[in-house]
Structure 1
Amino acid sequence: MKNIVTVDWLHERLEDPSVCVIDCRFELGNPGKGLSLYIKDHINGAFYFDLEKDMSKPREKHGGRHPLPVLERFIDKLSAAGIDAHTKVVAYDDQGGMMAARFWWLLKYLGHENVYVLDGGYSKWVEKGYPISEEIPSPSRKQFQVNIRPELLCNVDEVKNIIATKSGYLFDSRAEERYTGQKETIDHKAGHIPGAFNYFWKDCINEKNEWKSIDQLRERFQAFKQDDQIIVYCGSGVSACPNIIALDELGYNNVKLYLGSWSDWISYEDNPIAVGPQHSEIK
C-alpha cells in the first residue's frame, strides 16, 4: 500500500535520518491523555503532535469542531521536528489510525507527498517488542516546504452545490447510529447531510486495527468510478481521513475533505438535515 507502512518497515528504518516519526495519540473527550501517554513512552525518536493544539485551531461559530490549524504555527512545528521536502514522515496513533490519518491529510494538503500511516499503530509496535522510549527528541531544525493543494479541501458552499447539482457524492464517515440520527453523543443536532452515503471509517480496518487489503477496500467502493467527485465528511474532519486514504489507495483522484463536516453543517440554522437510513441512489 502506498500510504500505509508496517511496523517491520519502520523498525528497519528507525535510525534513518531521513525518516521522521510522529505520535498522534489523542482521546476525544480527554484532550490531555494523548500527551500523557506520549510522555510515558513512545516510539524511539517520535515527535508529538496534538489534535487540538497542533492539528486544529480553536473552534469558532462556523468551521466545525476541528478547523484547520493556524498554518504558520503548524508549519513551524513541522520544521522544528526536522521535516523538509526529503523527509519520509510516518504518523501513528492508538485509535485505529484516525488521528494519524488527519495528520497524513494535513501534510498532503500542504504538498508533502512522503507521508504514511503506521499499520496497527502503537499497540502493534509494542506487541512486536520494538524499541520505545520516554526521551523527548531534539531534532535539528529543517525548513518544511509548502505547496498548498486547495483541490483537496472543500467548504459548506461546495457541499451545497454538490447537493443541488447532483454532480458528485457525499460520504459520511461516522457510525451508523450517528448517521441515522438514532444516537448523537457529540454534536447538538442529530442526522446527516441529505443525500450522503454512510461509509463508517472503521470499516477500513480489521479487529486488530490493521488496514484491510486492497481487494477488501475496493469491494467497499466498487459502485463508484475513480473519477467521480467525492466529498468525505465526518463529525469534525478527523475520522473522514481514513476513508480518504482508502480512496487514494484505490486510485480515486477527485476526492475532497469537507473539513468542517457535520459540526460545521449544523452551525448554519438553514441547512437541511436528514435522518433515518440511507435513501440515496448511486447513478
Structure 2
Amino acid sequence: MTYTTLISAAELAEHIFDPNWVILDCRHDLTNPDAGRNAYDEGHLPNAQFADLDDELAGSKTDAAGKFRGRHPLPERADFLDTLRRWGISDDTQVVTYDAHGGMFAARVWWMLRWAGHANVAVLDGGVPAWLAHGMFLSVEPSSRTMGSLSDRPSLVATVTADDLLKNLEDRKRTIVDARAPDRFRGENETLDPVGGHIPGAKNRFFKDNLQADGRFKPATELRATFEQLIGKPEDAVMQCGSGVTACHNLLAMEVAGLQGAALYPGSWSEWCADPSRPTATGE
C-alpha cells in the first residue's frame, strides 16, 4: 500500500523503520530561520532527516536578469532532484513529511515531490503532536540515508506565472485562492507583508480552516463541500499565499477531497507585489 495524501500516526508507526521509507522533518518558522533545525536537534521522529525550507526547498530569490521571484521560489528542478536523491529517495520510495504546524510546511514538501514527479508522498496528519499523542517517542539521533536513484519524471502538478495571472485579470477564467490569514489578505499585517493586500479578484481560504481542532485535516466530504462552493472546477483554480508555501496546504486539502487539477502560483504575493505595475487590492 502506498500513501499519497495523508498518513496517520498509527500507520506511520508501523513503518517508521522500514528501509524503503524516507521521513522528512519540515518544521520552520517564517520569522526565525533557525527554529526548524533547532527543533529537529532537540527531538524528531526516528529516522527523520531535516528538510530546510530556505536552503533546500527554495531557489534563488532573483532570476538571471535580477528580477525578484518571491521569498521562496522553487529551486532549479535538477538541484531539487539531487537533494531528493541525497535524502535516499528512489522511484519506489514512500516519503512522509511532517511538521508541528498543522502541515503548513509539510504540505509544501508534499507538493514539491509531486512537482518532481514522485507520487508516493504523504503528510503526517496532525504532525508531531499526533505522533506524541499516539504514545510514540522522539529521537535526538541524526539520520542519513544512502544515495537514492530517483528518476526525472514528468511533473504531477501545474504551476502558473505572474504573467498568467495578469492575463487572468482580463479574462477571469481562473479562480485565485489566497491561503494567508485574513488580516494579511486584507492588507493589515505589515510584519509579514510590507506591501499589503491581495491580487484583485482573489478569494481568501485561510489554510488553517482545513483543520480540525486537534490539528488533523477535516473529513474529505467537508473539505470537498467547502472548496466546491469556493472555486467551481478545480482545474480552473490557482492557489497562492505569501510565498508559495501555505498555498500547498489548500492543494493538499483539495487532493484529500478528491478535487485534482488546481495550480500553484509559486511566487505568490511576495513576487506579485514586488512589481508596482501589477494591480493590488485591499480589504475583503
TM range, normalised to the smaller chain? over 0.9
One-letter amino acid of the counterpart of residue 72, structure 2: H
**Of 249, 258, 266, which aligns to 2:256?**
249
Partner of 2:38: 36
Q: How many angstroms does 1:157 deviate by?
A: 0.7
1:59-99 deviation per Cα after TM superposition (whole angstroms, max 9, x unaligned): 22421100112333322221121111100100000111011
Q: Show the 5 A alignment for 1:159-198.
A: 159-198=165-204
Equivalent residue for 1:237, pick from 226, 241, 244: 244
Quick one: structure 1 residues 268 and 199, their matched pair in 2 at CA, closer, same or farther if it must change by over 3 Å? same
Residue 272 of structure 1 is aligned with which of 273, 279, 282? 279
Q: Which amino acid counterpart does residue 37 of structure 1 have in structure 2?
A: A
Q: Deviations over 1:245-269 (max 9, x none)?
A: 1112223333110000000001111
TM-score by length of 1: 0.93
Q: Secondary structure at the match of 2:131?
A: helix
Go from structure 1 to structure 2 and tell me whether the alpha carbon gap of 1:150 and 1:266 turns closer, same or farther (over 3 Å shift): farther
Q: 1:15 aligned to 2:17?
A: yes
**Structure 1 Cα separation of the partners of residues 193 and 232 of structure 2:** 32
Distance 1:184 1:146 in 2: 40
Q: Does 1:218 align with 2:220?
A: no
Percent identical among aligned pairs is: 36
Shift of 1:2: 4.8
RMSD, matched Cα: 1.6
Asked whether the 8 Å contact 2:77–2:116 carries over to 1, the reply is no
Looking at structure 2, the residues matched to 90 and 228 of structure 1 have their Cα atoms a distance apart, in angstroms, of: 26
Unpaired runs of at least 5, structure 1: 278-283
Question: Residues 177 and 184 of structure 1 are in contact (CA less than 8 Å); yes or no, is this contact kept in structure 2?
Answer: no
**Aligned residue pairs, count:** 277
Does the aligned pair in 1 maintain the 2:238–2:262 contact within 8 Å?
yes
Cα gap change, 1:174/1:74 in structure 2, threshold over 3 Å: closer, same or farther? same
Distance 2:213 2:173 in 1: 35
Tell me how far 1:58 sits from its aligned partner: 3.6
Task: Give how far 1:134 is off.
Answer: 1.1
- Cα distance in 2 for residues equivalent to 1:145 and 1:72: 11
Secondary structure at the residue paired with 2:105? helix
Distance in structure 2 (CA, Å) of the matches to 1:226 and 1:74: 31
| AA partner of residue 126 (structure 1) | L
> What does 1:65-80 correspond to in 2, within 5 Å?
65-80=71-86
CA distance in 2, matches of 1:271, 1:62: 13
List alignment gaps of at least 5 residues for structure 2.
none
C-alpha displacement of 1:166: 1.2
| Aligned-partner Cα distance in 2 for 1:254–1:127 | 34
Q: Taking structure 2 as the reference length, what is the TM-score of the superposition?
A: 0.93
1-side partners of 2:91 and 2:131: how far apart?
A: 26
Pick one of 87, 97, 114 that aligns with 1:81.
87
- Residue identity matched to 1:35: R
Q: Provide the secondary structure at the position in 1 that maps to 2:118.
A: coil
In structure 2, the residue matched to 1:115 is 121
Counterpart for residue 125 of structure 1? 131
Matched residue, 1:280: none
Residue among 100, 119, 124 paired with 1:94: 100
Distance 1:252 1:133 in 2: 36
